[in-house]
Structure 1
Amino acid sequence: MPRSSASADDDLSADARAVSSLVFQMTTHVSAFRRSVDVLGTGKDTRELRAQLHDQRERLGVMARDASLAVKRLAQAVTNASDVDEETRAEHAGRHQKLVKDFHGVLKDFQKAQRTCAERESTFLPQKAKGRANYGTMDDDGGAEEAGQALLQEQRQEQQDFAQVDGELEYNNALIEERERGIMEIQQQIGEVNEIFQDLAVLVNEQGAMIDDIEANIVSTAVRTKDAQKELTKADKSQRAARNRLICIVIAVLVALIVLILFLLQ
């Protein structure tokens, strides 16, 4: 393989390894995301968990976009690889098809986990950490002082109850707002993943057509090579026949000369 062809082959292999690494990393992060989604609706479902899910979704969204761009760049590089022979290009095209298939699979897993996450976040609210009530102390002095302390304690308890109710309302409202924002973000990400799916479908069609073209070129080259070999064989046979005829003529002439000489000597 010429030096330029070897360099182009190495570049395509390096690009393919980079895409493979991105797909592997995304597969690992999707598995972690699914484990976090499984916790939703359980006793461990907290606001901290949902914040973690948000971060995981954002990270996976970035990885999906990066992998999509890398897959497109690799497809373009394989298509424009004029410095490699057809068989090498066909090999890289087949490798690219496998990477697209792997990427498509991990995207499906991510989208499925996204939908499960949206469903569970819309069904359940995160658990609230239990707080301890701040009860006052009573002096055991008896009489009017004890009654006053009891009344004061009751008033304080009522105030605490009202404050607790207000706090729970505010807390629940905040949870609902966070849940709605989270669901909207998930729906937006699902839409982005759908767009990547569409891009991959176009790539698969283009790559399939390119592979068919490469295979046709390989077959055509093989046919031309075979025809050339046939022509060479035919030419070789013709040359052999011509040599044989020449030898026969020479022998016939020699025989005629010998006969003529013998006749003259008589």
Structure 2
Amino acid sequence: MNDLLSLIKDQDATQAPPDLEAQISTPPSPTKEEEGEEKSMEGFFKEVAAIKSLMGEIRRNQGKLSDAHEQSKTITRSAEMRDLREKMQAEINQVSRSAEAIKKRLAELDRNNEAALKKGVYAPGSSAERTRTAITGALKKKLKDLMGEFQDLRTRVNAEYREVVERRVYTVTGQHADEEKIDHMIDTGESETIFQKAILEQGRGYVLDTLAEIRERRDAVMELEMSLMELHQIFLDMAVLVEAQGELLDNIEAQVARSVGYVQAGTNHLQAAKQHQRSKRKWMCCGLITGIIVILIVVLVVIGTTRGFGSS
């Protein structure tokens, strides 16, 4: 018995272990079309991440601009206003650079999407196309929202600048200037005529410093206004892309809605077919049982009749 066991062990040792990996079916290698689509989508998402990063920078710059504007309301010295003016201009310049970069990247994204579709990297109406279109459209809509926020900032800066000028005039002269004088002061920057009486009463030193601060403030607002107008033009150029993308998204949503309707109709037909099949099986079972009962009755009748004849 021991010799038999040792012989079996020796045979097991000499035999190669079974190749388990060979027994497991390996998944099929991706086709060239699938590899091309995957590579294309990978590049697409990298570009989307870069655009989102630029939008984040614009959002941060916008916050700094808003904070600087709030700070400007409390400044009363020309030197401080000059420093703040330079700071605000640096922020708006950065916003313009980021906006230009986003504009170019979005245009390139559209071109890449169209080229991939023409080359057959993905099929029209496929999940890849819908994903690209939806994400690109969402980016453009976010940019449109940013455009609206900068417009709000521009309106707020102009309105509050007027209020600050009115307060400065009242602080120095002790009188409220009429709207015409304030408008003239804002449009031309000329303000000495308004402060002539104050110069005679309080001395040129104090009043001239206030005048210098008002001029610095006006220059800051004018520069910001011009920069925001240029930025607004960049946004307007991209708004055309946003509107076109919106129409495309509406078409895709309509196609998806129709597809959902087709799927729902197919599901309803399938459910009706299943119900009909169940009903058919039910009637077949009932017919089979009825047939068996009839056969049993006939058999019993025949047996009873046969026995009757036998007994007679």
Find 2:142's aligned residue among 102, 124, 134: 102
Aligned equivalents of 2:160 and 2:86: distance in 1? 15
Which residue in 1 is equivalent to 2:116?
Answer: 81
How far 1:44 sits from its partner (Å)? 7.6
Find 1:68's aligned residue among 82, 88, 103: 103
Number of aligned positions between the proteins? 187
Aligned equivalents of 1:65 and 1:13: distance in 2? 20
Q: Which amino acid counterpart does residue 224 of structure 2 have in structure 1?
A: I
Cα contact 1:40–1:121 (8 A) shared by 2? no
SS in 2 for 1:204: helix
Find 1:24's aligned residue among 47, 52, 56: 56
Alignment of 1:1-266 (within 5 A): 2-42=34-74, 46-47=80-81, 48-82=83-117, 83-86=121-124, 87=126, 88-124=128-164, 165-168=203-206, 171-211=209-249
Which residue in 1 is equivalent to 2:27?
Answer: none
Cα contact 2:69–2:157 (8 A) shared by 1? yes
Aligned equivalents of 1:170 and 1:43: distance in 2? 15
Unaligned runs of 5+ in 1: 128-161, 224-266
How far 1:124 sits from its partner (Å)? 3.0
CA spacing shift, 1:64–1:51, aligned 2, 3 Å: same
Cα contact 1:64–1:107 (8 A) shared by 2? no
Aligned equivalents of 2:67 and 2:45: distance in 1? 34
- Which structure is richer in relative contact order (CA contacts within 8 A, separation 6 or more)? 1
- Aligned-residue sequence identity (percent) comes to 19
How far 1:91 sits from its partner (Å)? 0.7
How far 1:214 sits from its partner (Å)? 5.9
Aligned equivalents of 1:65 and 1:79: distance in 2? 22
Cα contact 1:12–1:74 (8 A) shared by 2? yes
CA spacing shift, 1:18–1:169, aligned 2, 3 Å: same
How far 1:216 sits from its partner (Å)? 8.0
How far 1:22 sits from its partner (Å)? 0.8
Cα contact 2:76–2:213 (8 A) shared by 1? no
CA spacing shift, 1:184–1:192, aligned 2, 3 Å: same
Q: Which amino acid counterpart does residue 136 of structure 2 have in structure 1?
A: H
RMSD, aligned CA: 3.5
SS in 2 for 1:66: helix
CA spacing shift, 1:98–1:216, aligned 2, 3 Å: closer
Cα contact 1:19–1:67 (8 A) shared by 2? yes
Aligned equivalents of 1:37 and 1:73: distance in 2? 35
SS in 2 for 1:54: helix
Q: Which amino acid counterpart does residue 15 of structure 1 have in structure 2?
A: E
Q: Which amino acid counterpart does residue 96 of structure 1 have in structure 2?
A: T
Q: Which amino acid counterpart does residue 100 of structure 2 have in structure 1?
A: R
